[in-house]
Structure 1
Amino acid sequence: MKPKPTTPAAVVKLTRCAIYTRKSSEEGLAQEFNSLDAQREAGELFVRSQGGEGWTVLPDRYDDGGFTGGNTDRPGLQRLMKDIAAGRVGVVIVYKVDRLSRSLLDFAALMQTFEAHQVGFVSVTQQFCTTTSMGRLVLNVLLSFAQFERELVSERTRDKIAATRRKGKWTGGRPVLGYTVDPDRFKLVVDPAEADRVRAIFQLYLTEGSLLPVVEELARRGWQNKAWTSRKGLVLGGKAFTRTSLYKLLTNVVYAGKVRYKAEVHPGEHAAIVDPGVWQRVQSQLAHNGRGGGGDTAARNRFGAVLKGLLQCVPCGCAMTPTHSTRGAKRYRYYVCSAAQKKGWRTCPSKAVPAEQTERFVVDQVRAVGRDPALVAGVLAEARAQDETRAADLTREERGLTTDLTSWHKELRALSGQLRPGADNGPVIARLADLQERVGSAEARAAALRRQVVEARSRVVGEDEAAAALSAFDPVWGTLSPREQGRVLALLIERIGYDGGTGKVAITFRAAGIQTLARELADKREEKRA
């Protein structure tokens, strides 16, 4: 009798298992055997139970102690994802689902990555497998409850802060000048030296009547905002006062012995620094002067400031905004440097310029361009150079999109060949949908770029046409309203730079607007004739 042939033992495929552990707080992590160790031990026991299937534990530890599960910004998780992408992991083991993530959206993205790299996922205590539809359903239900728990904790925290503020307690935030924080009782304690400085600032404002003179005086004295050291050892604050920071100090209810929660104001546990009468007088003065806190507040553009948005202070590199003052029945308009408004007049050589004279000068320059053929030619040459530069930039962007489109179309053809009937085509279909969306957006953008290139290179304005438009500017200008005048100047002018140190004004023309101006002025003439 012939012996029966022996059946060769089945080859067991090795599956490398990564155990991920997480704990939200750092409490207890210094212990010899902490929560992370307990989670890993449970994971190792589970892997050993699957030893017959070829499962083995990777020696690398993917631990995140003291990190929230509300986001994926965790060093241990990031190392795990890199190893998954490198093909070193076959299964991810966690103690519970919420150890990996408490966000449904983040978890869905992680699962998509796992599926793309054919990585399994196991929760030890909840016993389910993501390879079945039932397992995925149970997983999503559990994760929904984890996210609900996280949102519930957030709501409780907000409610606790609200209740604490309503009791007048300090709930944290940036330290304020005049107080220190008692670390044991977590209460505001008056700093005598800083408190004297705060009282002096309130008195200064009552004396001066507006913010800017106080800012200048504080700069002269060298007084600055509150400086403090953060928990990370960074020195913050300690900057010079501006109108904005001074306004915040003068309106901070903390100095009146109160605390604010949203629109509510409640009596505080801390001592007040400023006398109630002084506090109320300062608030009344601020309300009388308006949001800017003084008579130097920039007015809105309701008095015909036609250079608004065009005039800039050259030394400070910032806008010059319209303002006005009144003496009796007469109003005087100005353009003032916004940096000088915030930091004081001594910080800027430009300070302020009379509005009417400056506007008249700019309009005269526009008229002069129309009368001088050489100036017209120079403006048009500059416009053509700008159009060519823009066309070149647009062409470079279009070429980059064309390269991307070629690569994406190639990947689309390759992925289409990977679809198999009856197979799990989820990752392939997801990538195909992503590529189709990218291709559609890129093709639309490329078409728009081609139109813009043609427009930039075909936008040629003749010198005769430009001269006619600018010569028509003179008789029509006086018939326009201030709002229309401002819009016409914005068509023609890109920037007006004023240097208070030299008294020079530099005008950069937007020559491409000349053609638009010619058409609009012609329409105006037709309306007048009708």
Structure 2
Amino acid sequence: MKCAIYSRKSKFTGVGDSIENQIQLCKEYAMKTFNLSNEDFIVYEDEGFSGGSMDRPEFKKMLLDAKFKSFNMLICYRLDRISRNVADFSFLIEELNNYNISFISIKEHFDTSTPMGRAMMYIASVFAQLERETIGERIRDNMLQLAKDGHWLGGICPTGFKSTCIKVEDEKKKIKKIYNLESIPDEIRTIGLIFNKFLDLKSLTQLENYCMEKNIKSKNNINFSPITLRNILTNPVYAVADLNIYNYFITNNYSIYGHKNLFNGKHGIMAYNKTIQKKNISNKLRTPSEWIITIGSHKGVIPSEKWITVQNILSQNSFKSFRRRKSSQALLSGILYCKNCGARMRPKIGRTNKNGLKSFYYICENKIKSKKSHCSIKNIQGNELDKTLLENLKVSFQKNPIFIEALCKSDFTFTRTKKNSDLILLKNIIKKKEFQIQQLVQSISYSEEESIRKYIFKEIRTLEEDLNKLEGKYKIMYDKFTAQSDKFNLDDLADTIGNFHKLIDLLSNVEKISLINSLIEKIIWDGNIVEVIFMGSNIKNNSYKKDC
């Protein structure tokens, strides 16, 4: 019997239920209850990850192992080590039940192999989520209390404002500090220009290009991006708080704190609880119904009619547009840079040639946006550059052992997310077997002769046996691969580089991009020569000269 142990802690503190303590207690329980030995355990450890999400590396690996039935039971020290979310927990239990894997939480004495254990487990998980939601409600209630006076609660001030500290005396005669927003005239003029110009252009991209062309920069002296401009245009802090905007917020299901009479046109708007804030993750906007809108202590600078018109245009643009699938034709997008200004070189699709291949060029991002006022570097023919680079890499890696040795001895690292060449090759073989089976299954419907149908069934069974063996081999190799440290050894690196010439032609464009990105840190175009800088090393290659 194989037993999996899962342990998790949000952060390392050195106290409480440490990872080591959780594992030891689980082992002692399993040894005593099921008479297991040390060799019967598979341990999964996630340290520094919250239980509110299933996006944890060891947790995901455990689910994959469960699919392949690498263990018979899963033990954790406490229920909330697995998840603090009822939906996620229910999903896990269903998955384990599908694979006939028991789940045991030793702290709560729950065992899903029994009906009572399953019932109690769900009840306990409901209480775990109840605690989580209660914490969220307490935070929201606290925000509502702070929203009474419309003060600035801290953080980076919106463009156009700075925070000023005021000392006040509370009911208990204690001095406390509060912060209000105060306008910065030069930045406020820029905000007014951005709103007015957007109403003329009705496009974030055109507004970005206009700002770059006129050298209008952010308060950090960098060019405005479409995201930054959108955040400015949608921020209620600039709007005048009057009845017009009050009705807009009511119609669009915003939560408003304060009586309608307070929206008298004398102040601006403050919006609390706008974003979902998580560690190491970019903040995401909440839905409008979760925002808390109130009257600010500062003056509004954009008339409500203008602010609302801008919101309607942005909404219409979002409705009319759709996300195009990103082209995977350009292999060097994201790692090719302009030496002149440091901006990325972006692919721009051109005409289709007589062979049906779409030609494209890499063009400097700043050159496009500024209409050549900030950068005028020459474009580079994309199809030709991609092809030439791959051919040169094949030759360099295949026929230049000194080059490979130098690269291997450099400070070159791979992360676990990069598959080595054997795994990629094996995955391609598995895909081909699956395609062959699919083709044979389809051919059965076209054949009426029993002898032919029997032959096809026989071929399918043979292919399925081969496929099962290959998938088993892939699982073993994958386990071995993920069990290694984040750094591959030199043999692994040399294997990937040495097999590059065989591997690259077997891959799809998406897989080629992944492999190239794992080998090359950046490529720099100076208008005449392409300079290739390999990942984590000082090795450069200037041999790719293109006269474009």
TM-score by length of 2: 0.39
Structure label with greater radius of gyration: 1
Whose helix fraction is larger, Structure 1's or Structure 2's? 1
